[in-house]
Amino acid sequence: MPRGRVSMRKIKEILRLRWAAGLGVRQIARSCNLSHSTVSDYLARAQAAGLSWPLPEHLDDAALENLLFRPKGRVRGRTYPEPDFAYIHRELRRKGMTLHQLWLEYKQQHPDGYQYSRFCELYQEWHKGLDVVLRQTHRAGEKVFVDYAGQTIPVIDPVTGNVVPAYLFAAVLGASNYTYAEATLSQDLLSWISAHIHAFEFFGGVPRIIVPDNTKTAVSSPCRYEPDLNPTYQEMAAHYGAVVIPARPRKPRDKAKVETGIQVAERWILARLRDRQFFGLASLNEAIREGLRELNERPFQKLEGCRRTLFETLDKPALLPLPPVRYEFAVWKKARVNIDYHIEVEHNYYSVPYQLVRQEVDVRLTAGTVEVFHRGRRVATHARLHGRGAFSTDPQHRPAAHQRYLEWSPSRLVSWAEGIGPHTARLVAALLETRPHPEQGYRSCLGILSLSKRYPTDRLEAACRRALAMGAIAYRHVKSILEKGLDRLPPESESDRPPILPRHENLRGPGYYREEGRTLC
Protein backbone atom coordinates (compact mmCIF):
# COMPACT_ATOMS: atom_id res chain seq x y z
CA MET A 1 0.00 0.00 0.00
CA PRO A 2 1.42 3.45 -0.86
CA ARG A 3 3.04 5.38 1.92
CA GLY A 4 0.64 7.66 3.84
CA ARG A 5 -2.51 5.69 2.91
CA VAL A 6 -4.60 4.09 5.68
CA SER A 7 -5.32 0.37 5.77
CA MET A 8 -8.17 -1.24 3.87
CA ARG A 9 -9.64 -2.35 7.20
CA LYS A 10 -10.03 1.28 8.33
CA ILE A 11 -11.43 2.32 4.92
CA LYS A 12 -14.08 -0.42 5.20
CA GLU A 13 -14.92 0.91 8.66
CA ILE A 14 -15.39 4.40 7.21
CA LEU A 15 -17.82 3.04 4.60
CA ARG A 16 -19.72 1.03 7.22
CA LEU A 17 -20.10 4.00 9.60
CA ARG A 18 -21.32 6.20 6.76
CA TRP A 19 -23.66 3.91 4.87
CA ALA A 20 -24.76 1.45 7.57
CA ALA A 21 -24.66 3.60 10.73
CA GLY A 22 -25.49 6.91 9.02
CA LEU A 23 -22.84 8.92 10.91
CA GLY A 24 -21.61 12.29 9.74
CA VAL A 25 -18.11 12.94 8.37
CA ARG A 26 -16.75 14.58 11.53
CA GLN A 27 -18.18 11.81 13.74
CA ILE A 28 -16.51 9.21 11.55
CA ALA A 29 -13.26 11.18 11.67
CA ARG A 30 -13.28 11.21 15.49
CA SER A 31 -14.09 7.51 15.64
CA CYS A 32 -11.33 6.48 13.21
CA ASN A 33 -8.81 9.05 14.45
CA LEU A 34 -8.51 10.65 11.01
CA SER A 35 -8.98 14.14 9.64
CA HIS A 36 -12.39 14.95 8.23
CA SER A 37 -10.81 15.83 4.86
CA THR A 38 -9.33 12.33 4.63
CA VAL A 39 -12.69 10.75 5.44
CA SER A 40 -14.37 12.93 2.80
CA ASP A 41 -11.76 11.91 0.23
CA TYR A 42 -12.31 8.19 0.81
CA LEU A 43 -16.10 8.56 0.69
CA ALA A 44 -15.84 10.47 -2.59
CA ARG A 45 -13.59 7.80 -4.07
CA ALA A 46 -16.02 5.06 -3.00
CA GLN A 47 -18.95 6.93 -4.55
CA ALA A 48 -16.99 7.53 -7.80
CA ALA A 49 -16.18 3.80 -7.92
CA GLY A 50 -19.92 2.93 -7.65
CA LEU A 51 -19.62 1.09 -4.34
CA SER A 52 -22.44 0.55 -1.85
CA TRP A 53 -22.93 -1.15 1.52
CA PRO A 54 -22.56 -3.99 2.18
CA LEU A 55 -19.60 -4.54 -0.05
CA PRO A 56 -19.71 -7.54 -2.43
CA GLU A 57 -18.34 -10.71 -0.85
CA HIS A 58 -15.91 -11.34 -3.73
CA LEU A 59 -14.31 -7.88 -3.25
CA ASP A 60 -11.04 -8.47 -1.39
CA ASP A 61 -8.62 -5.80 -0.18
CA ALA A 62 -6.58 -5.77 -3.41
CA ALA A 63 -9.70 -5.35 -5.56
CA LEU A 64 -11.06 -2.62 -3.28
CA GLU A 65 -7.75 -0.76 -3.41
CA ASN A 66 -7.75 -0.99 -7.19
CA LEU A 67 -11.21 0.53 -7.34
CA LEU A 68 -10.51 3.34 -4.91
CA PHE A 69 -7.00 4.16 -6.14
CA ARG A 70 -7.10 3.56 -9.85
CA PRO A 71 -3.91 3.16 -11.91
CA LYS A 72 -2.07 6.21 -13.24
CA GLY A 73 -4.19 8.33 -15.48
CA ARG A 74 -7.57 7.49 -13.90
CA VAL A 75 -8.94 9.26 -10.83
CA ARG A 76 -12.64 9.42 -10.06
CA GLY A 77 -13.49 8.04 -13.48
CA ARG A 78 -11.59 10.73 -15.42
CA THR A 79 -8.60 10.14 -17.73
CA TYR A 80 -5.62 12.51 -17.53
CA PRO A 81 -2.67 12.84 -19.93
CA GLU A 82 0.19 10.67 -18.67
CA PRO A 83 3.51 12.51 -17.94
CA ASP A 84 6.74 11.14 -19.41
CA PHE A 85 8.38 10.18 -16.11
CA ALA A 86 11.61 8.90 -17.71
CA TYR A 87 12.07 12.32 -19.34
CA ILE A 88 11.26 14.06 -16.05
CA HIS A 89 13.82 11.88 -14.25
CA ARG A 90 16.56 12.81 -16.74
CA GLU A 91 15.72 16.51 -16.70
CA LEU A 92 15.83 16.68 -12.90
CA ARG A 93 19.55 15.91 -13.07
CA ARG A 94 20.21 19.16 -14.88
CA LYS A 95 21.56 21.91 -12.69
CA GLY A 96 18.82 24.24 -11.42
CA MET A 97 15.94 22.09 -12.69
CA THR A 98 12.98 21.53 -10.33
CA LEU A 99 9.90 19.33 -10.38
CA HIS A 100 7.71 22.45 -10.30
CA GLN A 101 9.25 23.77 -13.51
CA LEU A 102 8.69 20.43 -15.23
CA TRP A 103 5.07 20.45 -14.04
CA LEU A 104 4.59 23.93 -15.54
CA GLU A 105 5.89 22.65 -18.87
CA TYR A 106 3.58 19.65 -18.58
CA LYS A 107 0.58 21.92 -17.94
CA GLN A 108 1.47 24.06 -20.96
CA GLN A 109 1.21 20.98 -23.16
CA HIS A 110 -1.78 19.50 -21.28
CA PRO A 111 -3.89 22.23 -19.62
CA ASP A 112 -6.35 19.59 -18.42
CA GLY A 113 -3.57 17.45 -16.88
CA TYR A 114 -2.75 16.63 -13.28
CA GLN A 115 -2.41 19.31 -10.67
CA TYR A 116 0.97 19.81 -9.04
CA SER A 117 0.39 17.69 -5.90
CA ARG A 118 -0.88 14.68 -7.87
CA PHE A 119 1.88 15.17 -10.45
CA CYS A 120 4.52 14.93 -7.70
CA GLU A 121 2.80 11.93 -6.09
CA LEU A 122 2.75 9.99 -9.36
CA TYR A 123 6.38 10.77 -10.06
CA GLN A 124 7.43 9.58 -6.60
CA GLU A 125 5.55 6.32 -7.10
CA TRP A 126 7.26 5.82 -10.46
CA HIS A 127 10.64 6.72 -8.97
CA LYS A 128 10.39 3.98 -6.33
CA GLY A 129 10.46 1.33 -9.03
CA LEU A 130 13.95 2.23 -10.24
CA ASP A 131 17.21 0.52 -9.33
CA VAL A 132 18.85 1.56 -6.09
CA VAL A 133 21.72 3.15 -8.02
CA LEU A 134 19.41 5.21 -10.20
CA ARG A 135 17.31 6.39 -7.26
CA GLN A 136 20.02 8.77 -6.15
CA THR A 137 19.65 12.22 -7.59
CA HIS A 138 22.90 13.60 -9.02
CA ARG A 139 23.17 16.85 -10.92
CA ALA A 140 24.57 16.73 -14.43
CA GLY A 141 28.33 17.25 -14.55
CA GLU A 142 28.52 17.65 -10.78
CA LYS A 143 30.24 14.56 -9.36
CA VAL A 144 32.59 11.78 -10.36
CA PHE A 145 33.16 8.86 -7.97
CA VAL A 146 36.61 7.23 -8.07
CA ASP A 147 38.12 4.14 -6.46
CA TYR A 148 40.16 0.98 -7.04
CA ALA A 149 38.52 -2.42 -7.38
CA GLY A 150 39.37 -5.14 -4.91
CA GLN A 151 39.91 -7.68 -7.67
CA THR A 152 43.31 -7.67 -9.42
CA ILE A 153 44.34 -8.87 -12.89
CA PRO A 154 47.50 -10.96 -13.37
CA VAL A 155 50.01 -9.52 -15.87
CA ILE A 156 53.00 -11.55 -17.09
CA ASP A 157 56.34 -9.80 -17.51
CA PRO A 158 57.48 -10.74 -21.05
CA VAL A 159 61.18 -10.58 -20.02
CA THR A 160 61.26 -12.38 -16.68
CA GLY A 161 58.02 -14.33 -16.89
CA ASN A 162 57.03 -13.17 -13.41
CA VAL A 163 53.34 -12.57 -12.73
CA VAL A 164 52.48 -9.22 -11.14
CA PRO A 165 49.01 -7.97 -10.12
CA ALA A 166 47.38 -5.04 -11.92
CA TYR A 167 44.78 -2.89 -10.17
CA LEU A 168 41.55 -1.69 -11.78
CA PHE A 169 40.81 2.04 -11.38
CA ALA A 170 37.23 3.15 -12.06
CA ALA A 171 35.59 6.59 -12.35
CA VAL A 172 31.79 6.85 -12.57
CA LEU A 173 29.86 10.04 -13.34
CA GLY A 174 26.96 10.58 -10.96
CA ALA A 175 24.18 11.64 -13.36
CA SER A 176 24.70 9.26 -16.28
CA ASN A 177 26.69 6.38 -14.73
CA TYR A 178 29.12 6.81 -17.63
CA THR A 179 32.16 4.78 -16.60
CA TYR A 180 35.91 4.96 -17.22
CA ALA A 181 38.32 2.21 -16.20
CA GLU A 182 42.00 1.41 -16.62
CA ALA A 183 44.57 -0.92 -15.09
CA THR A 184 47.68 0.24 -13.24
CA LEU A 185 50.60 -1.73 -11.84
CA SER A 186 50.52 0.20 -8.57
CA GLN A 187 48.18 2.19 -6.38
CA ASP A 188 50.82 4.82 -5.62
CA LEU A 189 50.29 8.55 -5.97
CA LEU A 190 51.64 8.77 -9.53
CA SER A 191 49.29 6.01 -10.76
CA TRP A 192 46.36 7.58 -8.89
CA ILE A 193 46.90 11.04 -10.39
CA SER A 194 47.58 9.70 -13.89
CA ALA A 195 44.36 7.67 -13.83
CA HIS A 196 42.37 10.80 -12.92
CA ILE A 197 43.93 12.73 -15.80
CA HIS A 198 43.12 9.93 -18.23
CA ALA A 199 39.52 9.81 -16.95
CA PHE A 200 39.03 13.56 -17.48
CA GLU A 201 40.41 13.29 -21.00
CA PHE A 202 38.14 10.29 -21.66
CA PHE A 203 35.11 12.32 -20.52
CA GLY A 204 36.24 15.33 -22.52
CA GLY A 205 35.70 17.57 -19.50
CA VAL A 206 35.95 17.80 -15.72
CA PRO A 207 33.20 17.31 -13.08
CA ARG A 208 33.00 19.92 -10.38
CA ILE A 209 33.37 17.48 -7.47
CA ILE A 210 35.65 14.44 -7.14
CA VAL A 211 34.51 11.89 -4.53
CA PRO A 212 37.25 9.41 -3.55
CA ASP A 213 37.39 6.94 -0.71
CA ASN A 214 39.53 7.73 2.35
CA THR A 215 42.54 5.96 0.85
CA LYS A 216 45.98 7.13 2.01
CA THR A 217 46.80 8.11 -1.57
CA ALA A 218 44.01 10.69 -1.59
CA VAL A 219 43.59 11.63 2.08
CA SER A 220 46.58 12.16 4.35
CA SER A 221 44.48 12.32 7.50
CA PRO A 222 40.94 10.86 7.34
CA CYS A 223 38.31 12.84 9.22
CA ARG A 224 34.52 12.85 9.08
CA TYR A 225 34.29 16.65 8.92
CA GLU A 226 37.68 18.05 7.76
CA PRO A 227 39.80 15.42 5.97
CA ASP A 228 43.37 16.49 5.21
CA LEU A 229 43.95 15.96 1.48
CA ASN A 230 47.21 14.89 -0.11
CA PRO A 231 48.79 18.17 -1.40
CA THR A 232 49.48 16.70 -4.85
CA TYR A 233 45.88 15.50 -5.17
CA GLN A 234 44.57 18.88 -4.09
CA GLU A 235 46.86 20.68 -6.54
CA MET A 236 45.73 18.42 -9.40
CA ALA A 237 42.07 19.14 -8.64
CA ALA A 238 42.73 22.88 -8.51
CA HIS A 239 44.52 22.70 -11.87
CA TYR A 240 41.34 21.28 -13.41
CA GLY A 241 38.99 23.61 -11.53
CA ALA A 242 37.48 20.81 -9.43
CA VAL A 243 37.19 20.20 -5.69
CA VAL A 244 37.84 16.97 -3.78
CA ILE A 245 35.21 15.94 -1.22
CA PRO A 246 36.09 12.49 0.19
CA ALA A 247 33.39 10.08 1.27
CA ARG A 248 32.83 10.01 5.01
CA PRO A 249 34.63 7.21 6.86
CA ARG A 250 32.49 4.09 7.25
CA LYS A 251 29.71 5.57 5.08
CA PRO A 252 29.55 3.31 1.99
CA ARG A 253 26.45 5.04 0.67
CA ASP A 254 28.52 8.17 0.05
CA LYS A 255 30.32 6.31 -2.74
CA ALA A 256 27.64 3.85 -3.76
CA LYS A 257 27.98 4.98 -7.38
CA VAL A 258 31.56 3.85 -7.75
CA GLU A 259 31.01 0.72 -5.66
CA THR A 260 28.25 -0.34 -8.04
CA GLY A 261 30.25 0.87 -11.03
CA ILE A 262 33.23 -1.25 -9.99
CA GLN A 263 30.96 -4.24 -9.43
CA VAL A 264 29.52 -3.80 -12.94
CA ALA A 265 33.02 -3.36 -14.40
CA GLU A 266 34.18 -6.55 -12.70
CA ARG A 267 31.23 -8.46 -14.13
CA TRP A 268 31.22 -6.99 -17.62
CA ILE A 269 34.94 -6.48 -18.16
CA LEU A 270 37.12 -8.54 -15.82
CA ALA A 271 34.89 -11.62 -15.87
CA ARG A 272 35.28 -11.80 -19.65
CA LEU A 273 39.06 -11.50 -19.37
CA ARG A 274 39.56 -14.12 -16.66
CA ASP A 275 40.90 -16.80 -19.06
CA ARG A 276 43.12 -14.49 -21.12
CA GLN A 277 46.84 -13.92 -20.56
CA PHE A 278 48.31 -10.45 -20.83
CA PHE A 279 51.98 -9.78 -21.46
CA GLY A 280 52.13 -6.14 -20.46
CA LEU A 281 49.88 -3.36 -19.24
CA ALA A 282 49.22 -1.96 -22.74
CA SER A 283 47.51 -5.12 -23.99
CA LEU A 284 45.45 -5.37 -20.80
CA ASN A 285 44.20 -1.78 -21.08
CA GLU A 286 43.33 -2.31 -24.73
CA ALA A 287 41.10 -5.23 -23.73
CA ILE A 288 39.59 -3.14 -20.92
CA ARG A 289 38.73 -0.38 -23.39
CA GLU A 290 36.85 -2.87 -25.57
CA GLY A 291 34.81 -4.09 -22.60
CA LEU A 292 34.27 -0.51 -21.45
CA ARG A 293 32.78 0.41 -24.81
CA GLU A 294 30.28 -2.43 -24.54
CA LEU A 295 29.42 -1.49 -20.94
CA ASN A 296 28.71 2.15 -21.74
CA GLU A 297 26.58 1.22 -24.76
CA ARG A 298 24.57 -1.48 -22.99
CA PRO A 299 20.86 -0.43 -22.82
CA PHE A 300 19.34 0.36 -19.43
CA GLN A 301 16.77 -2.09 -18.10
CA LYS A 302 14.32 0.44 -16.66
CA LEU A 303 15.20 3.62 -18.56
CA GLU A 304 15.50 4.46 -22.21
CA GLY A 305 18.95 4.70 -23.76
CA CYS A 306 22.32 3.70 -22.32
CA ARG A 307 25.17 5.23 -20.36
CA ARG A 308 26.66 6.81 -23.45
CA THR A 309 23.44 8.48 -24.66
CA LEU A 310 22.67 9.71 -21.15
CA PHE A 311 26.23 11.06 -20.91
CA GLU A 312 25.90 12.87 -24.25
CA THR A 313 22.65 14.57 -23.22
CA LEU A 314 23.27 15.18 -19.51
CA ASP A 315 26.83 15.13 -18.24
CA LYS A 316 28.91 16.15 -21.24
CA PRO A 317 27.30 19.60 -21.79
CA ALA A 318 27.63 20.38 -18.07
CA LEU A 319 31.28 19.37 -17.58
CA LEU A 320 33.96 21.99 -17.06
CA PRO A 321 36.31 22.38 -20.04
CA LEU A 322 39.73 20.76 -19.92
CA PRO A 323 42.59 23.21 -19.27
CA PRO A 324 44.93 23.91 -22.23
CA VAL A 325 47.85 22.19 -20.45
CA ARG A 326 47.78 18.76 -18.79
CA TYR A 327 48.66 18.70 -15.11
CA GLU A 328 52.34 17.99 -14.47
CA PHE A 329 52.80 15.50 -11.66
CA ALA A 330 54.52 17.01 -8.64
CA VAL A 331 55.33 15.77 -5.15
CA TRP A 332 55.18 18.10 -2.15
CA LYS A 333 57.55 17.81 0.78
CA LYS A 334 58.51 19.88 3.80
CA ALA A 335 62.09 20.85 4.62
CA ARG A 336 63.93 23.02 7.12
CA VAL A 337 66.61 25.44 5.97
CA ASN A 338 70.03 24.68 7.45
CA ILE A 339 72.55 27.32 8.53
CA ASP A 340 74.24 26.98 5.13
CA TYR A 341 70.91 28.28 3.66
CA HIS A 342 70.43 25.00 1.77
CA ILE A 343 67.67 22.44 2.11
CA GLU A 344 68.13 18.71 1.65
CA VAL A 345 65.76 17.08 -0.86
CA GLU A 346 66.22 13.50 -2.04
CA HIS A 347 69.85 13.49 -0.76
CA ASN A 348 70.77 16.64 -2.74
CA TYR A 349 71.03 20.26 -1.62
CA TYR A 350 69.34 23.39 -2.95
CA SER A 351 69.89 26.98 -1.85
CA VAL A 352 67.23 29.40 -0.66
CA PRO A 353 67.55 33.06 0.42
CA TYR A 354 69.78 33.13 3.50
CA GLN A 355 67.13 35.09 5.44
CA LEU A 356 65.12 31.84 5.71
CA VAL A 357 67.71 29.97 7.77
CA ARG A 358 66.13 27.58 10.30
CA GLN A 359 62.63 28.15 8.88
CA GLU A 360 60.34 25.48 7.44
CA VAL A 361 59.54 25.64 3.73
CA ASP A 362 57.37 23.67 1.27
CA VAL A 363 59.10 21.96 -1.63
CA ARG A 364 57.43 21.06 -4.92
CA LEU A 365 59.28 18.46 -7.00
CA THR A 366 58.53 17.72 -10.64
CA ALA A 367 60.54 15.58 -13.04
CA GLY A 368 62.81 18.48 -13.94
CA THR A 369 62.45 21.24 -11.34
CA VAL A 370 62.53 21.91 -7.61
CA GLU A 371 60.45 24.84 -6.37
CA VAL A 372 60.66 26.15 -2.82
CA PHE A 373 57.76 28.03 -1.20
CA HIS A 374 57.65 29.95 2.04
CA ARG A 375 54.21 30.85 3.34
CA GLY A 376 52.74 30.31 -0.11
CA ARG A 377 55.29 32.48 -1.94
CA ARG A 378 57.87 30.90 -4.24
CA VAL A 379 61.34 31.86 -3.06
CA ALA A 380 63.61 29.60 -5.14
CA THR A 381 63.59 27.49 -8.29
CA HIS A 382 66.29 24.98 -9.27
CA ALA A 383 66.83 22.35 -11.92
CA ARG A 384 66.38 18.99 -10.24
CA LEU A 385 69.62 17.20 -9.38
CA HIS A 386 70.12 13.46 -9.59
CA GLY A 387 72.45 11.24 -7.64
CA ARG A 388 73.52 12.02 -4.09
CA GLY A 389 75.34 14.86 -2.41
CA ALA A 390 75.11 17.38 -5.27
CA PHE A 391 74.66 21.12 -4.63
CA SER A 392 72.65 23.70 -6.56
CA THR A 393 73.47 27.18 -5.27
CA ASP A 394 72.06 30.44 -6.59
CA PRO A 395 74.63 33.26 -5.98
CA GLN A 396 71.76 35.62 -5.21
CA HIS A 397 70.91 33.53 -2.16
CA ARG A 398 74.30 34.03 -0.49
CA PRO A 399 74.72 36.88 2.04
CA ALA A 400 76.86 39.86 1.12
CA ALA A 401 79.34 39.09 3.85
CA HIS A 402 79.71 35.59 5.29
CA GLN A 403 81.24 37.05 8.48
CA ARG A 404 77.89 38.65 9.34
CA TYR A 405 75.87 35.63 8.30
CA LEU A 406 74.18 34.56 11.52
CA GLU A 407 77.59 34.66 13.25
CA TRP A 408 78.71 31.60 11.27
CA SER A 409 81.90 31.69 9.21
CA PRO A 410 84.70 29.28 8.24
CA SER A 411 87.01 30.87 10.79
CA ARG A 412 84.51 30.38 13.58
CA LEU A 413 84.05 26.71 12.69
CA VAL A 414 87.83 26.18 12.64
CA SER A 415 88.15 28.01 15.95
CA TRP A 416 85.47 25.77 17.46
CA ALA A 417 87.28 22.71 16.17
CA GLU A 418 90.55 23.93 17.71
CA GLY A 419 88.85 23.68 21.09
CA ILE A 420 88.64 19.92 20.52
CA GLY A 421 92.10 19.42 19.09
CA PRO A 422 94.49 20.24 16.23
CA HIS A 423 93.54 17.20 14.14
CA THR A 424 89.88 18.14 14.35
CA ALA A 425 90.70 21.71 13.29
CA ARG A 426 92.79 20.41 10.35
CA LEU A 427 89.96 18.13 9.25
CA VAL A 428 87.35 20.95 9.41
CA ALA A 429 89.63 23.30 7.45
CA ALA A 430 90.32 20.61 4.83
CA LEU A 431 86.61 19.89 4.50
CA LEU A 432 85.80 23.58 3.88
CA GLU A 433 88.56 23.78 1.25
CA THR A 434 87.05 20.90 -0.74
CA ARG A 435 83.78 22.78 -1.38
CA PRO A 436 83.32 25.33 -4.21
CA HIS A 437 81.74 27.62 -1.62
CA PRO A 438 82.76 27.29 2.05
CA GLU A 439 79.15 27.49 3.23
CA GLN A 440 78.44 24.23 1.43
CA GLY A 441 80.66 22.52 3.99
CA TYR A 442 79.00 24.05 7.04
CA ARG A 443 76.57 21.16 7.41
CA SER A 444 79.33 18.51 7.41
CA CYS A 445 81.47 20.54 9.79
CA LEU A 446 78.59 20.90 12.23
CA GLY A 447 78.02 17.16 12.01
CA ILE A 448 81.65 16.45 12.92
CA LEU A 449 81.64 18.95 15.78
CA SER A 450 78.32 17.61 17.10
CA LEU A 451 79.99 14.21 17.59
CA SER A 452 81.64 15.72 20.65
CA LYS A 453 78.24 15.50 22.37
CA ARG A 454 78.22 11.70 22.00
CA TYR A 455 81.91 10.86 22.31
CA PRO A 456 84.77 12.20 24.48
CA THR A 457 86.90 14.88 22.84
CA ASP A 458 90.00 12.67 22.94
CA ARG A 459 88.22 9.98 20.94
CA LEU A 460 86.93 12.54 18.40
CA GLU A 461 90.45 13.95 18.06
CA ALA A 462 91.85 10.44 17.49
CA ALA A 463 89.14 9.70 14.91
CA CYS A 464 89.95 12.91 13.02
CA ARG A 465 93.65 12.00 13.05
CA ARG A 466 92.89 8.59 11.54
CA ALA A 467 90.54 10.17 8.93
CA LEU A 468 93.24 12.64 7.89
CA ALA A 469 95.79 9.85 7.55
CA MET A 470 93.38 7.91 5.33
CA GLY A 471 92.31 10.95 3.30
CA ALA A 472 88.69 10.38 4.37
CA ILE A 473 87.61 14.02 4.64
CA ALA A 474 83.90 13.58 5.40
CA TYR A 475 81.53 13.45 8.32
CA ARG A 476 80.38 9.89 7.61
CA HIS A 477 83.97 8.56 7.75
CA VAL A 478 84.63 10.14 11.14
CA LYS A 479 81.33 8.80 12.45
CA SER A 480 82.11 5.31 11.15
CA ILE A 481 85.55 5.31 12.81
CA LEU A 482 83.98 6.20 16.16
CA GLU A 483 81.16 3.67 15.85
CA LYS A 484 83.58 0.85 15.06
CA GLY A 485 86.06 1.89 17.76
CA LEU A 486 88.97 2.27 15.31
CA ASP A 487 90.00 5.47 17.08
CA ARG A 488 91.14 3.36 20.06
CA LEU A 489 93.81 1.53 18.05
CA PRO A 490 97.37 2.82 18.55
CA PRO A 491 98.89 4.66 15.55
CA GLU A 492 101.47 1.95 14.89
CA SER A 493 98.79 -0.74 14.48
CA GLU A 494 96.55 1.25 12.18
CA SER A 495 95.80 -0.50 8.95
CA ASP A 496 96.37 2.57 6.78
CA ARG A 497 98.78 0.61 4.53
CA PRO A 498 97.79 -2.42 2.46
CA PRO A 499 98.37 -5.67 4.39
CA ILE A 500 101.48 -7.74 3.62
CA LEU A 501 100.38 -11.13 2.36
CA PRO A 502 102.35 -14.28 3.23
CA ARG A 503 104.36 -16.01 0.51
CA HIS A 504 102.62 -18.91 -1.19
CA GLU A 505 103.16 -20.74 -4.46
CA ASN A 506 99.61 -19.92 -5.58
CA LEU A 507 100.04 -16.17 -5.00
CA ARG A 508 101.49 -14.34 -8.03
CA GLY A 509 102.61 -10.75 -8.11
CA PRO A 510 102.16 -8.25 -10.98
CA GLY A 511 105.50 -9.28 -12.44
CA TYR A 512 104.14 -12.74 -13.26
CA TYR A 513 101.82 -11.28 -15.89
CA ARG A 514 104.57 -9.19 -17.45
CA GLU A 515 106.72 -12.22 -18.29
CA GLU A 516 107.12 -13.08 -21.88
CA GLY A 517 104.23 -15.06 -23.32
CA ARG A 518 101.86 -14.21 -20.48
CA THR A 519 100.99 -10.61 -21.32
CA LEU A 520 97.24 -10.16 -21.16
CA CYS A 521 95.58 -7.99 -23.80
Which pLDDT score is estimated for 207? 92
Give the residue among 156, 226, 216, 151 at the shortest CA–CA distance from 189.
Answer: 216
Query: Could you tell me if 356 and 463 lie in one domain?
Result: no
Residue 74 counted as domain residue: no
Query: Could you tell me if 190 and 55 lie in one domain?
Result: no
Q: Which range has the worst mean pLDDT, 36-45, 82-91, 462-471?
A: 82-91
CA distances from 483 to 62, 360, 451, 459, 463 (A): 90, 31, 11, 11, 10
Query: Could you tell me if 213 and 250 lie in one domain?
Result: yes
CA distances from 378 to 352, 367, 381 (A): 10, 18, 8
Residue 499 counted as domain residue: no
Residue 268 counted as domain residue: yes
Among 375, 398, 421, give the residue marking a domain's end. 398
Query: Could you tell me if 313 and 204 lie in one domain?
Result: yes
Query: Could you tell me if 170 and 119 lie in one domain?
Result: no
Is 0.85 surpassed by the pTM of this model?
A: no
Residue 212 counted as domain residue: yes
Q: How far is Cα of residue 363 from the mean position of the Cα atoms in its chain? A: 20
376 against 369, higher pLDDT: 369
Average pLDDT on 166-175 reads: 88
Query: Could you tell me if 437 and 341 lie in one domain?
Result: no
Q: What pLDDT band is residue 335 in, cutting at 50, 70 and 90?
A: very high
Average pLDDT on 90-103 reads: 76
Residue 88 counted as domain residue: yes
Query: Could you tell me if 173 and 240 lie in one domain?
Result: yes
471 against 229, higher pLDDT: 471
* Segments forming the whole domain that contains residue 38: 8-69
Alpha-carbon gap, residue 15 to 35, rounded angstroms: 15
Alpha-carbon gap, residue 184 to 146, rounded angstroms: 14
Residue 135 counted as domain residue: no
182 against 492, higher pLDDT: 182
Query: Could you tell me if 283 and 365 lie in one domain?
Result: no
| Averaged pLDDT score across all residues of the chain | 79
Name, of 139-143, 254-258, 312-316, 401-405, the range with top average pLDDT. 312-316
Query: Could you tell me if 343 and 459 lie in one domain?
Result: no
Which pLDDT score is estimated for 201? 94
Over residues 1-47, the pLDDT tens digits come to: 444 567 788 888 888 888 887 888 888 888 788 888 888 888 888 88
Among 264, 297, 318, give the residue marking a domain's end. 318
Residue 354 counted as domain residue: yes
Query: Could you tell me if 171 and 225 lie in one domain?
Result: yes
Query: Could you tell me if 203 and 242 lie in one domain?
Result: yes
Q: Which range has the worst mean pLDDT, 35-39, 89-93, 310-314, 508-512?
A: 508-512
Query: Could you tell me if 293 and 226 lie in one domain?
Result: yes
Q: What pLDDT band is residue 194 in, cutting at 50, 70 and 90?
A: very high
> What DSSP element (H or E) covers 228?
strand 228-229
Residue 137 counted as domain residue: no
Which pLDDT score is estimated for 512? 46
| The three-state (H, E, C) secondary structure of 340-397, written as one string | CCEEEECCEEEECCHHHCCCEEEEEECCCEEEEEECCEEEEEEECCCCCCCEECCHHH
Among 369, 398, 427, give the residue marking a domain's end. 398
Alpha-carbon gap, residue 461 to 32, rounded angstroms: 102
254 against 298, higher pLDDT: 298
Check pLDDT > 60 for residue 134: no
Which pLDDT score is estimated for 383? 92
**β-bridge pairing 391-392 and 348-351:** parallel
Average pLDDT on 117-137 reads: 69
Which pLDDT score is estimated for 404? 46
Alpha-carbon gap, residue 120 to 99, rounded angstroms: 7
Average pLDDT on 342-352 reads: 91
The count of structural domains within the chain is 5
Which pLDDT score is estimated for 1? 44
Residue 517 burial class via C-beta count within 10 angstroms: exposed 0-12, middle 13-18, buried 19 and up: exposed
- Reduced to 3 states, what is the DSSP secondary structure of residue 79? strand
